[in-house]
């Protein structure tokens, strides 16, 4: 059971998390409206221009935001499973580390760190095992994909040993 | 040339040694990845797209066809031996198949699934070859407004007609459509929603979005469930060969499943999973062994599995002839075509017949290879199911990011991958379907183009959209597909629809 979700026979309360979704949808609509106003200023001669379809999409998003808010208020959203934050932080952390290190450390080291972090997220916390395994595996992948299939995967100090 | 000659010509292309090799690599990779728990055909195709980047279009599409069919075969193995089907179209297979495996009849269950898939794939692929030219002729009379109406119909059926909520389906679709408007407008060259960021001018890559939503979103979701104990993989006991009784009980469900699955897949509307449910219901009604249903009835594996593969081939009819993807998998395949600047549709049959017919013929070959790969070698694939979760998902994330890096090694692209992964995770928590986002992203620009063409021909007159009889009928069906489920759900009859959920992942 998460915030505001009650069993079917219980009293239904507003679902705050779902209300945030409504706000999020309205925010996307607002961004599109802002962009549409800029495009409309450039103005095309016909009535149907590049701004038309985004404008319609934004209007529908506003309707969907109101509808979502309505359902959230009535507590109509389905029950949610309990989410553990720890594993999510591990994986997102791994992805961020890969993103930041990719250019500097090269594909194998950056992706090896992601590999170890993801394994940690799934309960395998022995980094002294997973990290070397991950880096070795990624180096193998790099040799196949960059070597044989000629994909442009960034090379770092480790890859330069093989170049 | 008639269809038969085209098909023979296609076979001669597909039989070239290099193309046979591509098909073999495709089916092997497709099966291997498709078998992995939690990976459905959509993700299989998205993850393996980078493997084909450097091939020529024909070789790449042939490999792709193998990956597509291989992913389908692999998924059924997973759902029989491990009760966590990777794709919703295999849920029904898991119902009876997993029970059979627990009762020590995993071998025959796998065999009937594999042979049923082969029979269905064979018949449906030939049906595809014979129907495609007719649809192409029909499509030639379609103008922009008819195409637009067709796409609206596909939007509605993919997002809101099935599944458990019209609201959440439509929200997913419109998130996809909103993302689709990012980048340079195709008709005027205006930059839209790109905020001066050069990386956004090209728009959002379908594969980046699909991989992020399916692979990263799913991994985050599974990880956040915490440790729920290991899943039990059923050992394949007994022979993989079926007894005479198994054959006698299987062949009719195969044919019925094919007859149900193919037309549903071939319709230019979403919801390819419906065929498996219909087939299951049919077999349950017709069986001579009703007591076995729910405890491992072989008909309950044979029929739905055939229906599944037949509708997978059927999906290629709207994809190849109209350029209309009706599932997330087809959307990613369309992205695979577009990376070579090829737009599937009636024109492709005229300008590139050797490519289209080579592709169709290689589906037949891939199907045969898969039968050989799956029956004797099934023990090998089963090993893949026992990979521990930490290694498995670490590997999935490795390959998910590999595809993005291979296509565009920029931190910005990886940032988008992360952002969409988080979006997919949040959507999963709240029960939003993923497929409509992917279909909206790839079909949105095409629908907008057709709409604006139609309206510029009519000089802005909106009524023109409804004055063509074909377009009017299609839009009426689309409106009905939107409104009828709303009424059904309001009256508390929504369970049937949520069972038919088209949430392919």
Pair A149, A98 in one domain: yes
Given an 8 Å threshold on Cβ–Cβ distance, is B216 in contact with A95?
Answer: yes
Interchain proximity A57–B177, CB inside 8 Å = yes
Residue A1 lies in a domain: no
Cβ atoms of B403 and B207 closer than 8 Å: yes
Q: Do B175 and A90 touch (CB under 8 A)?
A: no
User: What pLDDT is stored for residue B447 in this prediction?
Assistant: 93
Has residue A97 got a pLDDT over 60? yes
Structure confidence at residue A2 as a pLDDT band (50, 70, 90):
very low
Percent of chain A with pLDDT over 70: 88
Considering only CB atoms, which chain A residues are within 8 Å of B401? 95, 98, 111, 114
The answer as to whether A135 is a domain residue is yes
Distance CA B206, CA B325 (A): 13
| pLDDT number for residue A33 | 92
Task: Let me know if residue A154 belongs to a domain.
Answer: yes
Q: Is the pLDDT of residue B502 over 60?
A: no
Helix axes B17-35, B3-14, angle to 10 degrees: 80
Neighboring chain B residues of A48 at a CB cutoff of 8 Å = 452, 455-456, 460
Q: Shortest CB distance from A48 goes to which of B216, B397, B456?
A: B456
Q: How much is the pLDDT for B174?
A: 96
Mean pLDDT across chain B, nearest whole number?
A: 85
What local confidence, expressed as pLDDT, does residue B366 receive?
92
pLDDT per residue as tens digits for the range B35-68: 887 787 888 888 888 777 778 888 888 888 899 8
Which of A25, A28, A34, A53 best tests the B interface by mutation, with the highest count of B CBs <10 A? Answer: A53
Residues A58 and A89 in one domain: no
Position B484 confidence tier, pLDDT thresholds 50, 70, 90? confident
Whether the predicted pLDDT of A92 surpasses 90: yes
Q: Does A148 touch chain B (CB under 8 A)?
A: no
Residues of chain B in contact with residue A134, where contact means CB-CB under 8 angstroms, are 394, 398
* pLDDT of amino acid B79: 81
Mean pLDDT, rounded, for B430-435: 88
pLDDT value of residue A5: 41
Q: What is the pLDDT of residue B232?
A: 67
CB-CB under 8 Å, B188 with A122: no
- Res B182: pLDDT: 92
Cα gap B83→B4, rounded to integer Å: 42
How many folded domains does chain B comprise?
1
What per-residue confidence (pLDDT) applies to A144?
86
Q: What is the pLDDT of residue A132?
A: 93
Contact A57 B174 (CB under 8 A): yes
Does B505 reside within a domain? Answer: no
- Closest-CA residue of A relative to B427 is A21
- Nearest to A23, CA basis, from A94, A73, A82, A85: A73
Lowest mean pLDDT among A107-111, B216-220, B238-242: B238-242
Q: What is the pLDDT of residue B238?
A: 61
Residues 6+ apart with CB under 8 A from B124: B258, B261, B262, B265, B309, B310, B311, B312, B313, B314
The predicted structure's pLDDT at residue B229:
57
Backbone angles phi and psi of B367, in degrees to 5: -60, -45
User: What is the nearest CA distance from B429 to chain A, expressed in angstroms?
Assistant: 6
Q: Are residues A53 and A105 in the same domain?
A: no
Write out the DSSP string of B8-62.
Answer: HHHHHHHTSHHHHHHHHHHHHHHHHHHHSTT--HHHHHHHHGGGGTTS-HHHHHH
Q: What token pair was written down for B71?
A: 């992913």
Q: Which residues of A touch B414 (CB under 8 A)?
A: 95, 98-99, 102
pLDDT at A1 over 60: no
CA A62 to chain B, closest CA, distance in angstroms equals 10
Per the structure, how many domains does chain A have? 2
Q: Which residues pair with B1 in a beta bridge?
A: none
The dihedrals phi and psi of B458, each to the nearest 5 degrees, come to -90, 5
pLDDT tier for residue B338 given thresholds of 50, 70 and 90: confident
Please, what sign has the CA dihedral across residues B323, B328, B329, B331? positive
Are A35 and B193 in contact (CB < 8 Å)? yes
Cβ-defined contact of B390 to A123 (cutoff 8 Å): yes
User: Which residue on chain A is closest to B411 by alpha carbon?
Assistant: A99
Whether the pLDDT of residue B17 is over 50: the answer is yes
> Residue B173: which domain range?
3-499
Find residues 87-116 of chain A whose CB sits inside 8 Å of chain B.
Answer: 87-88, 90-92, 94-96, 98-100, 102-103, 107, 111, 114-116
Among A residues 22-51, those touching chain B with beta carbons less than 8 Å apart:
25, 28, 31-32, 35, 39, 42, 44, 46-50
Distance of alpha carbon B203 from alpha carbon B181, whole angstroms: 8
List own/partner pairs for B132-136 with CB under 8 A and 24 or more apart.
Answer: B132/B317, B132/B320, B132/B321, B132/B349, B132/B356, B132/B360, B133/B3, B133/B6, B133/B349, B135/B317, B135/B318, B135/B321, B135/B322, B136/B321, B136/B346, B136/B349
Residues A93 and A152 in one domain: yes
Report the range out of B134-143, B174-183, B211-220, B267-276 with the highest average pLDDT: B174-183
**Residues A88-105: what's their mean pLDDT?**
93
Task: Tell me which residue has tokens 């499509």.
Answer: B139
Closest chain B C-alpha to A85 CA, distance in angstroms: 6
Which of B185, B411, B421 is the closest to A50 by Cβ?
B185
pLDDT of residue B496: 59
Q: What is the mean pLDDT of residues B201-225?
A: 89
Domain stops at, among A39, A74, A109: A74
- CA-to-CA dists, residue B10 to B21, B354, B395, B406, B432, angstroms: 16, 6, 37, 31, 41
How confident is the model over B369-424, as pLDDT tens digits? Answer: 998 888 888 778 777 888 888 898 999 999 889 888 888 888 899 999 999 999 99
B504 found inside a domain: no
* Of B26-30, B123-127, B174-178, B236-240, minimum mean pLDDT range: B236-240
Query: Cβ of B394 and A88 within 8 Å?
Result: no
Q: Does the residue B257 lie in any domain? A: yes
Using CA atoms, how far residue B289 sits from A53, B297, B368, in Å, is: 55, 8, 31
Report pLDDT digits (tens) over B154-172. Answer: 899 888 777 778 899 999 9
Reply yes or no on whether the pLDDT at A88 is more than 70.
yes
CA B72 to chain centre: 9
Is A81 close to B185, i.e. CB distance below 8 A? no
Query: Of the candidates A61, A77, A100, which has its C-beta nearest B174's C-beta?
Result: A61
Evaluate if residue B319 carries a pLDDT over 50: yes
Task: Examine the domain organization and report whether A70 and A105 are in the same domain.
Answer: no
Q: CB of A57 within 8 Å of any CB in chain B?
A: yes
Chain B nearest C-alpha distance from A111 (Å): 6
Put simply, the chain A residues between 115 and 134 with a CB less than 8 A from any chain B CB are: 115-116, 118-124, 130, 134
Judge: A124–B225 Cβ closer than 8 Å, yes or no: no
Furthest-apart CA pair in chain B: how many Å? 70
By the CB < 8 Å criterion, does A4 face chain B? no
Place of tokens 């949430």: B503
Listing DSSP states for B68-93 in one string gives HHHHHHHHHHHHHHSS--SSGGGHHH
Share of chain B above pLDDT 90, in %: 25
Q: Are residues A30 and A91 in the same domain?
A: no
Residue A94 and residue A142 share a domain: yes
Instruction: State the pLDDT at residue B189.
Output: 81
Chain A residues with beta carbon closer than 8 angstroms to that of B417: 95
- Given a contact cutoff of 8 angstroms between Cβ atoms, the answer to whether B273 and B498 are in contact is no
Interface test with B, best of A42, A54, A105 (most B CBs within 10 A): A54
Based on its alpha-carbon atoms, the radius of gyration of chain A, rounded to whole angstroms, reads: 24
Containing domain of residue A101, as a range?
85-160
Q: What number is the average pLDDT over the span A69-74?
A: 88
- Which residue in A64, A91, A141 is closest to B171 by CB distance? A64
Q: Does residue A149 share a domain with residue A103?
A: yes
Tell me whether residues A119 and B394 touch, CB distance under 8 A. Answer: yes
Residue A3 lies in a domain: no
Residues A90 and A155 in one domain: yes
- CB-closest option in B178, B224, B390 to A119: B390
Give residue A113's pLDDT: 95
Chain A residue with minimum CA distance to B54:
A149
Looking at the structure, tell me whether residues A94 and A156 fall in a common domain: yes
Among A33-37, A38-42, A83-87, B446-450, the minimum mean pLDDT is found in: A38-42
Q: Which residue has the tokens 């055939």?
A: B306
Q: How many residues does chain A have?
A: 163
pLDDT given for residue B499 in this prediction: 55
A28 or B197, greater pLDDT: A28
- Quick: pLDDT tens for B75-130: 888 888 876 655 555 677 777 888 888 888 888 888 898 999 999 999 999 999 99
Contact criterion met (CB < 8 Å) for A153 and B405: yes
Classify residue A58: in a domain, yes or no: yes
Q: Which residue of chain A comes nearest to B183, CA vs CA?
A: A50
Could you tell me the end-to-end alpha-carbon distance of chain B, in angstroms, rounded to an integer?
39
User: Looking at the domain assignment, is residue A8 inside a domain?
Assistant: no
- State ipTM: 0.89
Structure tokens belonging to residue B452: 């604006």
Check residue B504 and give its pLDDT.
41
Give the mean pLDDT of chain A. 84
Select the residue from A94, A145, A159 to test the B interface by mutation, using most B Cβ atoms within 10 A.
A145
Q: How would residue B1 be classed by pLDDT, with cut points 50, 70 and 90? A: low
Average pLDDT over residues B282-291: 86
CA distance B255 to B302: 9
The residue whose two tokens read 């095409």 is B446
Give a yes or no: residue A80 inside a domain: no
A96 pLDDT exceeds 80? yes
* pLDDT at residue number B151: 92
Same domain for A65 and A89?
A: no
* Res A4: pLDDT: 40
Gap between the Cα atoms of B469 and B475, Å rounded: 10
B405 contacts on A by Cβ (under 8 Å): 102, 107, 153-154
Could you tell me which residue, A102 or B489, shows the higher pLDDT?
Answer: A102
Does A46 fall in a domain? yes
Instruction: Indicate whether A90 and A149 sit together in one domain.
Output: yes
| A118–chain B nearest CA distance, Å | 5
Nearest CA in chain B to A120: B390
């Amino acid at each position: 059971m998460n915030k505001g979700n009650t069993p079917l026979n219980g009293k239904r309360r507003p679902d705050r998390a779902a209300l945030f979704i409504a706000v999020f949808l309205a925010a996307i609509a607002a961004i599109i409206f802002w962009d549409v106003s800029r495009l409309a200023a450039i103005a095309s001669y016909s009535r149907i221009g590049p701004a038309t379809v985004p404008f319609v999409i934004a209007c529908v998003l506003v309707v969907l935001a109101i509808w979502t808010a309505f359902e959230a208020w009535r507590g109509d959203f389905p029950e949610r499973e309990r989410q553990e934050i720890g594993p999510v932080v591990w994986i997102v952390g791994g992805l961020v580390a890969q993103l930041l290190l990719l250019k500097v450390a090269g594909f194998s080291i950056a992706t090896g760190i992601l590999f170890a972090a993801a394994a940690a997220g799934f309960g395998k916390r022995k980094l002294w095992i997973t990290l070397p395994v991950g880096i070795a595996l990624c180096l193998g992948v790099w040799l196949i994909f960059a070597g044989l299939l000629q994909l442009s995967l960034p090379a770092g100090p480790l890859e330069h040993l093989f170049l | 040339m008639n269809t038969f000659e085209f098909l023979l010509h296609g076979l001669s292309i597909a039989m070239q040694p290099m193309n046979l090799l591509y098909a073999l690599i495709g089916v092997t990779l497709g099966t291997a990845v498709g078998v992995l728990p939690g990976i459905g055909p959509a993700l299989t195709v998205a993850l393996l797209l980078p493997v084909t980047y450097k091939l020529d279009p024909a070789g790449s599409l042939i490999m792709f066809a193998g990956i597509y069919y291989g992913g389908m075969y692999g998924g059924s193995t997973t759902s029989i031996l491990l009760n966590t089907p990777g794709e919703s179209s295999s849920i029904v297979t898991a119902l009876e198949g997993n029970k059979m495996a627990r009762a020590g009849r995993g071998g025959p269950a796998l065999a009937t699934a594999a042979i049923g898939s082969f029979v269905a794939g064979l018949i449906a692929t030939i049906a595809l070859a014979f129907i495609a030219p007719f649809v192409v002729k029909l499509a030639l009379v379609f103008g922009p407004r008819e195409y637009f109406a067709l796409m609206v119909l596909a939007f509605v059926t993919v997002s809101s007609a099935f599944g458990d909520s019209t609201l959440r389906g439509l929200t997913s679709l419109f998130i996809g459509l909103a993302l689709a408007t990012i980048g340079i407008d195709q008709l005027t060259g205006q930059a839209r929603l790109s905020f001066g960021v050069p990386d956004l001018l090209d728009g959002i890559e379908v594969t980046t979005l699909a991989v992020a939503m399916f692979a990263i979103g799913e991994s985050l979701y599974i990880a956040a469930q915490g440790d729920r104990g290991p899943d039990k993989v059923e050992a394949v006991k007994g022979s993989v060969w079926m007894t005479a009784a198994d054959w006698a009980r299987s062949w009719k469900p195969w044919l019925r499943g094919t007859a149900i699955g193919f037309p549903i897949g071939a319709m230019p509307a979403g919801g390819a999973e419906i065929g498996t449910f219909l087939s299951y219901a049919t077999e349950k009604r017709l069986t001579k062994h009703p007591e076995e249903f729910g405890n491992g009835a072989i008909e309950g594996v044979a029929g739905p599995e055939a229906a599944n593969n037949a509708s997978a081939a059927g999906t290629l009819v709207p994809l190849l002839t109209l350029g209309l993807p009706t599932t997330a998998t087809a959307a990613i395949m369309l992205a695979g075509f577009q990376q070579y600047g090829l737009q599937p549709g009636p024109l492709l049959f005229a300008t590139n017949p050797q490519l289209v017919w080579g592709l169709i013929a290689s589906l037949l070959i891939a199907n045969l290879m898969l039968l050989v790969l799956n029956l004797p070698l099934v023990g090998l694939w089963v090993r893949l199911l026992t990979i521990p979760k930490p290694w498995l998902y670490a590997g999935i994330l490795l390959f998910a990011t590999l595809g993005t890096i291979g296509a565009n090694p920029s931190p910005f692209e990886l940032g988008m991958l992360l952002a969409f992964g988080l979006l997919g995770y949040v959507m999963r928590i709240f029960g939003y379907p993923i497929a409509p986002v992917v279909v909206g992203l790839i079909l949105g620009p095409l629908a907008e183009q057709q709409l604006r063409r139609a309206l510029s021909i009519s000089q802005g007159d909106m009524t023109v959209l409804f004055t063509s009889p074909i377009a009017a009928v299609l839009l009426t069906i689309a409106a009905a597909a939107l409104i009828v489920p709303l009424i059904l759900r309001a009256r508390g009859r929504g369970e049937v629809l949520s069972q038919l959920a088209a949430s392919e992942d």
